[in-house]
Amino acid sequence: MANFTQTQARGCTIVRTVQIKNGSTHIAWAFGVKDSDGNYYSWADKTTSSRASKATIKTAIETHLKNNMTKQAAPVTYSRTAVTNKGLNETVG
């Protein structure tokens, strides 16, 4: 798999932005996003400022996805359907 493209990164939904502090000292941002396939990605960003604007945070997320995150394939969804009722509710023997 490859890293995110710009289009894929910009299509992600931000689901977590938590500022991590030690007392009053900024340590990092904890970011989490969900891609268009429903996959969740999270990481700690130690370079983005504690006073970052929303635009700066979005740029940091996009840059991280494009440079550091491998885009996962869509999860496989299985469904089960009853194809036949032969032997249904009968004992095996």
Per-residue pLDDT reduced to its tens digit, 27-77: 999 999 999 999 999 999 999 999 999 999 999 999 999 999 999 998 877
Q: How confident is the model at residue 82 (pLDDT cuts 50, 70, 90)?
A: low
Coil, strand or helix at 19: strand
Report the alpha-carbon distance of residue 30 to residue 36 in Å, rounded. 20
The model's pTM is 0.79
Estimate the share of the chain in helix, then strand, then coil, as percent rounded to the nearest 5. 20, 30, 50
Per-residue pLDDT reduced to its tens digit, 18-37: 999 999 999 999 999 999 99
Q: How many other β-carbons are positioned within 10 Å of the β-carbon of residue 75?
A: 8
Domain range summary for the chain, segments of one domain joined by +: 6-68
